[in-house]
Amino acid sequence: MKKIEVMAPAGSFDSLSAAIRAGADSVYFGVGSLNMRSRATVNFSIEDLPKIVKLCKKAGVKTYLTLNIIVYDDELKYVRTICDAAKVAGVNAVIAADIAVMKYANSIGLPVHVSVQANVSNTESVRFYSQFADVMVLARELTLPQISNIIKTIEKDNICGPSGERIRIEIFTHGALCVSVSGKCYMSLGAYNSSANRGACFQNCRRRYRVIDDETGEELVIDNKYVMSPKDICTLEFLDRLLESGVSILKLEGRGRSADYVDTVTKVYREACDAWLKNQFTPENVDLWLEELKTVFNRGFWKGGYYLGEPLGEWCGFGGSRAKLHKIHLGRVTKYFSKLGVVELNVEAAELPQGQLLLIIGPTTGAVKFNASEIRLAGNNVSCAPKGSIVSVPVPRKVRKNDQLYLLVERRFGEEVGGDEL
């Protein structure tokens, strides 16, 4: 069987480099305001497209541009501008849900992937969208038998896209879930006139709520006040069954998340897919992979999901992240000595004890985790580098000047970790 395509999120050059180095086969990203992460501070510009494509082509990684929001008449010119720029830059495909986007992309020869926002749930929808797209992202609410049936019908009836190639199916595999069907939520629009379907969700479903009787003023006692905030989906425990259904592309959620998240999640699913292809997908490996996933941003894991026919009842029950490790900004890289494999660090925010787990993140570096096995200050080995010092530490691979340095600290029991993650 051909290699399974692992598609990683990229919301910044840090995350893009992390995805590439972690073994992604493809990356997806947005530019400007017309994508489902338009409110995020981590976003690319149209001018970044040539650089993104160049970096990815050099690594043999495909590039997919998200243009998957509802589009209005006064934005059609901007849609054409984005598609034209993507075509010129050499982007592999545009991810779209609006027919206007699909039609224009088709007209200029820019391949299309149908977004999960289109809620493709049956073979007739696949047949309809096959006039526009070679890849379909199926609705998140389908079961494994339903997915398998759609793929078997595609193969039996030889349903092909505009390229003449048989339709490939993409599945959402890991990350944050929306309480609404395939993410088509109107709660943020109703509350703040800021539409989730326009990439501007305020995530009011992620908050705590109280239920109060308007007539009596009595409040219902509920154990979990996060009544609309699902746990993250994690398909690792049944990934073998998911792959056996015939899916071609595994999509990892997280364009609003940091480089270390992208690095870890991409690496885990790359290893899991490769292990399955080699008949080495074992419960022991799954346990190790799950522990690794728990070290980065998560709201707890729903390990069955709709795919196994389960109702959405896995509510996170807390705010922020349940990552076992969280980041504390410590300083930055000042130099890298390639012959020695040593990095010079400016320890700016706090002291650095020997043996601590460190993380370096940068736009070319991606994410590098390592232990401060040895610390040298002014040529001498020290057990702890004081705040404000310049020290040298062995590092496993190349890093760059001005990359950011973080201390990775184990979260205390019961402590919730927030941060800038979406």
Is 2 a residue whose pLDDT tops 80? no
Per-residue pLDDT, averaged over 146-173, amounts to 96
**Is 187 contained in some domain?**
no
Predicted confidence at residue 253, as pLDDT, reads: 93
Per-residue pLDDT, averaged over 307-335, amounts to 82
**Is 418 contained in some domain?**
no
**CB neighbour burial string for 250-273, b if at least 16 within 10 angstroms, e if fewer:** bbbbbbbbbbbbbbbbbbbbbbbb
Predicted confidence at residue 183, as pLDDT, reads: 65
Pair (383, 257) in one structural domain: no
**Is 222 contained in some domain?**
no
Pair (403, 338) in one structural domain: yes
Tell me the pLDDT band of 304, cut-offs 50, 70 and 90: confident
The per-residue pLDDT of the chain, averaged, comes to 88
Pair (44, 133) in one structural domain: yes
Amino acid at 144: L
Tell me the pLDDT band of 422, cut-offs 50, 70 and 90: very low
Is 243 a residue whose pLDDT tops 70? yes
- Which of 250, 279, 308 is the C-terminal boundary of a domain? 308
Per-residue pLDDT, averaged over 12-17, amounts to 96
Question: How is residue 138 annotated by DSSP?
Answer: B
Pair (101, 157) in one structural domain: yes
- Which of 249, 277, 308 is the C-terminal boundary of a domain? 308
Residues in the chain: 422
Pair (283, 342) in one structural domain: no
Pair (296, 352) in one structural domain: no
Higher pLDDT, 291 or 421: 291
Pair (262, 357) in one structural domain: no
Taking residue 108's Cβ as centre, other Cβ atoms within 10 Å add up to 12
Tell me the pLDDT band of 50, cut-offs 50, 70 and 90: very high
Domains in the chain, number: 2
**Is 89 contained in some domain?**
yes
- Which CATH number does the domain housing residue 330 bear? 2.40.30.10
How confident is the model over 250-289, as pLDDT tens digits?
A: 999 998 889 999 999 999 999 999 999 999 999 999 999 9
Pair (406, 267) in one structural domain: no
Per-residue pLDDT, averaged over 148-170, amounts to 97
Is 305 a residue whose pLDDT tops 80? no
- Which CATH number does the domain housing residue 141 bear? 3.20.20.70
Q: Which of 38-42, 302-306, 340-344 has the lowest mean pLDDT?
A: 38-42
**Is 86 contained in some domain?**
yes
Per-residue pLDDT, averaged over 380-401, amounts to 96
How confident is the model over 172-226, as pLDDT tens digits?
A: 999 877 776 666 666 666 666 766 666 667 677 777 777 788 888 887 666 667 6
**Is 244 contained in some domain?**
yes
- The residue segments making up the domain with residue 400 are 325-410
**Is 250 contained in some domain?**
yes
Concatenating the DSSP letter of every residue in 285-307 gives HHHHHHHHHTTSS-S-EESSTGG
Pair (291, 346) in one structural domain: no
Per-residue pLDDT, averaged over 11-24, amounts to 96
Pair (329, 300) in one structural domain: no
Say which residues have a Cβ less than 8 Å from residue 107's Cβ, sequence separation at least 6. none
- Which of 262, 279, 308 is the C-terminal boundary of a domain? 308
**Is 106 contained in some domain?**
yes
Pair (280, 354) in one structural domain: no
Tell me the pLDDT band of 316, cut-offs 50, 70 and 90: confident
**CB neighbour burial string for 60-72, b if at least 16 within 10 angstroms, e if fewer:** ebbbbbbbbbebe
Percentage above 70 pLDDT, the chain = 85
Predicted confidence at residue 219, as pLDDT, reads: 75
Pair (241, 164) in one structural domain: yes
